[in-house]
Amino acid sequence: MALIVQKYGGTSVGNPERIKNVARRVAGYRAKGDQVVVVVSAMSGVTDNLIKLANEIMPLPTEREMDMLLATGEQTTIALTAMALHALGLPAVSLTGAQAGIVTDGVHTKAKIQNITPKQVHTLLDEGKVVIVAGFQGQTQEGHITTLGRGGSDLTAIALAAALKADLCQIYTDVDGVYTADPRIVPNAKKLEEISYDEMLELASLGAKVMQSRSVEFAKKFGVVFEVRSSLNENPGTIVKEETKNMEDVVIRGVALDKNQAKVTLVAVPDKPGVAAHIFKAIGEAAINVDMIVQNISHGSGTPATDLSFTIDKPDLLKARKVIDGLKMSVGFREAIADEKIGKLSIVGVGMRSHSGVAAKMFETLAKEGVNIDMISTSEIKISVVIDLAKGEQATRALHTAFIG
């Protein structure tokens, strides 16, 4: 008998028929003797409708009241899911985030979980019930309803799994698991049986949008082993867990292409202390997320100057241009060049730590394909390059063939 926490996203509970499917799946685990805690999101479309309603009242609704409003989405799903289990003759009880003991800080619309007191969940499980918990929500110590922001339901599931010391946490989604590359680009991409938290984090932040980084980070911190799998079939998914020795036998776990970045180059930036800090402070204050930063060696004569390149999310480009225009006088660079036609191509794998020559092999492979490298950035388990967007898919396939097969 295992204790399993399962999380189903908005599409998996998008209508009564799908909610019944979820119930049937839960019933299958129960039939095997497992204890099941189910975390559900709002039915797809519901949250958007609530936001629309709020905007008809006022353009920028207060965040506390947005949380009060949005929390009804998951509350609706938990009740319907419990009913669907009752219809199958299974004992089930729904709990709001507050009732499940999920305590957060008071930062409405993006609250952080502070602690979980799963006493009520334990009691209900001990009574033989399936416990359905509203994802994405909690309450403050003072009793205000909060929501956890993007990826919040995944976080609820993983945090509950940690608090309950669950044997397994399953994140049900509309993909079969984590792949070695995007199957739409690399037809022979393979589903991974397992992956380490760090690899998953690198892949998540690299455009393999299976889960938000924050949930993976939480799982890593508390050692929660979880499985990403599909709610549409019975295929086993990908297990995400702490790195093990034999994971290093595989040098590269995956190849990821992020088409959603833009590159900005500031030409001839005065090469003196404090300049980079000045620039990135201004960009950060505009809430623009900077990913890669590369500073080339100073060149030319006269005042020492350098070219500074960085990548940002494409939708932030306009906002970034305004910030940069404002900096031109104070920083004194020559010009700013933006390039939207880039792709960030990365290889990820804990195995590269113990295997030398990975970077060389990557660059060689790209050279053979005639792909020029604009920027390079590396971490212990990742190498990313910025290349011409037009060659992105071809380059992804080439790297996949070279490293994975």
Q: Is 86 a binder of a copy of itself (CB under 8 A)?
A: yes
Element housing 306 (H / E): strand 305-313
Q: Which of 53, 107, 337, 367 binds a copy of itself (CB under 8 A)?
A: 53
Contacts of 165 (CB under 8 A, 6+ apart): 3
Of the candidates 99, 94, 212, the one whose C-alpha atom is nearest the C-alpha of residue 153 is 212
Q: Is 290 strand, coil or helix?
A: strand
Minimum separation from the CB atom of position 212 to a copy of itself (A):
25
Check residue 68 for interaction with a copy of itself (CB under 8 A).
yes
Place of tokens 């010391």: 165
Q: Which residue has the tokens 């995400």?
A: 240
Torsions phi, psi for 402 (to 5 deg): -65, -40
58 is a contact residue toward a copy of itself (CB under 8 A): yes
Residue 175 assigned to a binding site = no
Asked if 360 interacts with a copy of itself (CB under 8 A), we say no
174 assigned binding-site residue: yes
CB-nearer residue toward a copy of itself: 143 or 300? 143
Does 223 sit near a copy of itself (CB under 8 A)? Answer: no
Among 4, 2, 5, CA closest to 40: 5
- Residue number with CB closer to a copy of itself (122 or 259): 122
Q: How far is the CB of 21 from a copy of itself (least distance, A)?
A: 12
Stretch that binds a copy of itself, among 74-82, 227-235, 331-339, 356-364 (CB under 8 A): 74-82
- 10 annotated as a binding-site residue: yes
Angle at the Cα of 396 from the Cα atoms of 392 and 398, rounded to 5 degrees = 120
Tokens, residue 50:
């609530």
The 8-class DSSP code of residue 59 comes to S
126-165: contacts with a copy of itself (CB under 8 A): 143, 145
Residue with tokens 């060696």: 297
Smallest distance from a copy of itself to CB 76, Å: 5
Contact between 107 and a copy of itself by CB under 8 A: the answer reads no
Question: Could you say which of 3, 34, 44, 61 contacts a copy of itself (CB under 8 A)?
Answer: 61
DSSP assignment of 160-184 equals: HHHHHT-SEEEEEESSSS-BSS-TT
The answer to whether the annotation marks 172 as part of a ligand binding site is no
Q: Does 20 bind a copy of itself (CB under 8 A)?
A: yes
Q: Which stretch binds a copy of itself (CB under 8 A): 82-90, 233-241, 355-363, 385-393?
A: 82-90
Stretch that binds a copy of itself, among 84-92, 233-241, 346-354, 393-401 (CB under 8 A): 84-92
The span from the CA of 193 to the CA of 243, in Å, is 13
111 binds a copy of itself (CB under 8 A): no
CB of 180 closer than 8 Å to CB of 190? yes
User: Pick from 31, 56, 302, 329: which binds a copy of itself (CB under 8 A)?
Assistant: 56
Instruction: Choose between 61 and 149: whose C-beta lies nearer to a copy of itself.
Output: 61
> 48 φ, ψ to 5°?
-60, -40
Residue 66 interacting with a copy of itself (CB under 8 A): yes
Our CB check for a copy of itself shows the closer of 20 and 30 to be 20
113 binds a copy of itself (CB under 8 A): no
- What's the maximum distance between 2 C-alpha atoms anywhere in the chain? 82
- Tell whether residue 322 is among the known ligand binding residues: no
Residue 369, φ and ψ in degrees, nearest 5: -85, 0
Task: Out of 21, 76, 260, 298, name the contact with a copy of itself by CB under 8 A.
Answer: 76
Q: How many C-beta atoms lie closer than 10 Å to residue 14's C-beta?
A: 18
Q: How many residues bind a copy of itself (CB under 8 A)?
A: 35
- 239, 383 in Cβ contact below 8 A? no
Q: Which is nearer to a copy of itself, 23 or 158 (CB)?
A: 23
Q: Is 210 annotated as a binding residue?
A: yes
Helix (H, G, I), strand (E, B) or coil at 141: coil
CA 157/CA 113 separation, integer angstroms: 12
Counting Cα atoms < 13 Å in the Cβ hemisphere of 279 gives 27
18 binds a copy of itself (CB under 8 A): no
Residue whose pair of structure tokens reads 């992020």 in the numeric block: 258
**Contacts to a copy of itself by CB under 8 A:** 16, 19-20, 50, 53-54, 56-58, 61-62, 64-66, 68-69, 71-72, 75-76, 78-80, 82-84, 86-87, 93-94, 96, 99, 120, 143, 145
Binding site, annotated residues for substrate: 47, 74
Binding site, annotated residues for ATP: 7-10, 173-174, 179, 184, 209-210
